[in-house]
């Protein structure tokens, strides 16, 4: 434990991004009991100061920690429990959704969770799936309700100050979804006076706050709830990631994407800031997931779930590391 912590502290010292947070975590490590803390109050003094400092320093949030398969306290905790607790979505078509025919959770994110469980516990089905809404992803991690969040979560500086991200496993950008005959031309002033729907706590909501284009904003718990509002005429457009919007369009042929993606977003698996060993382990799983060219598990999952709606992707995004 001691040497582990010291090594970590040394690593953290040379890490430019979020060094304050990492050092704090390293110092805290010996105290860990292996149990999931219900209230992360032990890091309170640092955590209170860290987000703004880290966000200010944050230049490349997509750079994660190098993969490693050494068992740390977080991995040991999961192994002792015998199950991986994963926060997922059950409303994002082809990403994480409950297949109404079978009642099973399925999708790209779900395949990824099964791969992580297989690596950690030797059985892809040793998973407790917890459905979390968009705005509950970070609180669920902070309160220790879940080990990982695999739920089309965009990596950005603001979030990287609160949770730890794996390397990026998918790249997308925000786009507007509208009924086919709508006069809206994109994320521009044609939105004036319209009602735009976005998931609460999503990057789309942040964009709308930054630049609402004189539109009124309607927020709902899950991005799919926006499609319900759009179909019922309670919203004129939906703002979400292109990858998710494609999933919505796949469920309703009378709506479509409009305008070019106007942001660049990468999805990552999110974990508690303190679970560094788990971050490295998940990155190792992702390395395996990407390996194998056209037949890699990543490409297989892509072809199975996403290719029909998100055409033209030939390879997974390249991982970036900061250490």
Partner 1 sequence: MSQPQQPAWREGATRLRAAATTEPGRLRIIGAALAAVLAVFGGVTAWQVSDRSAAADAVVAHSQPLSADAASIYRSLADADTTAASGFLTGGQEPKTTRDRYDQDIALASELLVKAAANTSGSDTERRQIATLNKQLPVYTGLVDTARANNRQGLPLGGAYLRYASERMRGELLPAASALYEAETGRLGSDYRDAKAWPWAALAAGIVALGALGWAQRRNYLRTNRVFNHGLLAATAATAVVLLWLVAGHTVARAELDNSDRHGAQSLQVLNEARISSLQARGDENLTLVSRGSVLDPATGDDLYEASFQKDMKRLFGNGDNSGGTGGTAPAPGSLLDRAGALADGAAGRDPVAKAVTDVGQWLRQHSAARTADVSGDYKGALQMVNGGKDSTGESFDRVDSELQQALSHEQAQFRHAADNGRGALTGLTAGAAVLALLAATGAVLGIGRRLSEYR
How many residues contact partner 1, by CB under 8 A?
Answer: 34
Burial category of 102 from C-beta neighbours within 10 Å (exposed 0-12, middle 13-18, buried 19 and up): exposed
Judged by beta carbon, residue 102 or residue 314, the one nearer partner 1 is 102
Q: Which residue from 51, 97, 164, 283 is in contact with partner 1, where contact means CB under 8 A? A: 97
Say whether residue 83 binds partner 1 (CB under 8 A): yes
Separation of alpha carbons 230 and 253, rounded Å: 13
> Stretches 10-18, 50-58, 66-74, 96-104: which one binds partner 1 (CB under 8 A)?
96-104
- Long-range pairs of 5-11 with CB within 8 A, sequence gap ≥ 24: 5/29, 5/30, 8/276, 11/323
Q: In this structure, are residues 109 and 88 in contact, taking their beta carbons and an 8 Å threshold?
A: yes
Nearest approach, Cβ of residue 130 and partner 1 (Å): 4
Say whether residue 265 binds partner 1 (CB under 8 A): no
- The DSSP line for 103-159 is --EESHHHHHHHHHHHHHHS-TT-EEEEE--GGGHHHHHHTTS-SEE-SSPBP-HHH
Q: Which residue from 33, 100, 122, 181 is in contact with partner 1, where contact means CB under 8 A? A: 100
Nearest approach, Cβ of residue 201 and partner 1 (Å): 13
Q: 225: which residues sit within 8 A by CB, 6+ positions away?
A: 91, 197, 199
Say whether residue 90 binds partner 1 (CB under 8 A): yes
Say whether residue 252 binds partner 1 (CB under 8 A): yes
Separation of alpha carbons 110 and 49, rounded Å: 35
Q: Which residue from 43, 133, 154, 174 is in contact with partner 1, where contact means CB under 8 A? A: 133
Say whether residue 267 binds partner 1 (CB under 8 A): no
Say whether residue 240 binds partner 1 (CB under 8 A): no
Give the CB-side neighbour count of residue 166, counting CA atoms within 13 A: 34
Q: Which residue from 20, 27, 130, 217 is in contact with partner 1, where contact means CB under 8 A? A: 130
> Stretches 46-54, 187-195, 219-227, 237-245: which one binds partner 1 (CB under 8 A)?
219-227
> Stretches 139-147, 208-216, 270-278, 298-306: which one binds partner 1 (CB under 8 A)?
139-147
Within its chain, how far is the Cα of 174 from the centroid? 15
* Counts for the chain of helices (H) and strands (E), in that order: 12, 15
Nearest approach, Cβ of residue 232 and partner 1 (Å): 8
Q: In this structure, are residues 307 and 156 in contact, taking their beta carbons and an 8 Å threshold?
A: no
Q: Which residue from 85, 157, 217, 313 is in contact with partner 1, where contact means CB under 8 A? A: 85
Judged by beta carbon, residue 214 or residue 234, the one nearer partner 1 is 234
Nearest approach, Cβ of residue 70 and partner 1 (Å): 26
Going by the DSSP 8-state scheme, the letter that residue 83 receives in this structure is: S
Say whether residue 305 binds partner 1 (CB under 8 A): no
Residues in contact with partner 1 by CB under 8 A are: 83, 85, 90-93, 97-103, 126-133, 136, 139, 143, 145, 221-222, 224-225, 227-228, 231, 251-252
């Amino acid at each position: 434990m001691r040497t582990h912590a010291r090594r970590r502290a040394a690593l953290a010292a040379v890490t430019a991004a979020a060094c304050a947070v990492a050092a704090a975590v390293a110092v805290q490590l010996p105290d860990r009991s292996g149990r999931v803390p219900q209230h992360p109050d032990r890091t309170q003094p640092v955590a209170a100061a860290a987000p703004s400092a880290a966000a200010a320093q944050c230049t490349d949030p997509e750079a994660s920690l190098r993969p490693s398969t050494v068992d740390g306290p977080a991995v040991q905790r999961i192994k002792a429990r015998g199950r991986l607790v994963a926060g997922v979505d059950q409303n994002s078509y082809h990403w994480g959704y409950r297949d109404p025919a079978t009642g099973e959770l399925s999708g790209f994110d779900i395949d990824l969770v099964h791969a992580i469980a297989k690596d950690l516990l030797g059985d892809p089905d040793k998973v407790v799936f917890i459905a979390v809404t968009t705005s509950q992803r970070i609180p669920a991690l902070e309160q220790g309700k879940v080990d990982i969040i695999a739920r089309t979560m965009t990596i950005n500086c603001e979030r990287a100050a609160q949770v730890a991200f794996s390397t990026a496993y998918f790249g997308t950008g925000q786009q507007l979804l509208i009924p086919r005959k709508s006069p809206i031309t994109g994320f521009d002033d044609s939105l004036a006076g319209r009602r735009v729907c976005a998931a609460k706590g999503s990057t789309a909501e942040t964009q709308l706050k930054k630049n609402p284009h004189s539109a009124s904003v309607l927020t709902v718990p899950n991005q799919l709830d926006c499609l319900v509002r759009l179909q019922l005429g309670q919203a004129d457009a939906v703002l979400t990631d292109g990858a998710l919007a494609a999933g919505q369009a796949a469920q309703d042929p009378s709506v479509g994407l409009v305008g070019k993606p106007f942001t660049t977003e990468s999805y990552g698996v999110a974990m508690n800031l303190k679970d560094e060993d788990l971050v490295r382990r998940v990155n190792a799983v992702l390395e395996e997931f990407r390996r194998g060219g056209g037949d890699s598990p990543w490409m297989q999952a892509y072809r199975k779930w996403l290719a029909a709606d998100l055409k033209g992707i030939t390879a997974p995004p390249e991982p970036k590391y900061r250490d």
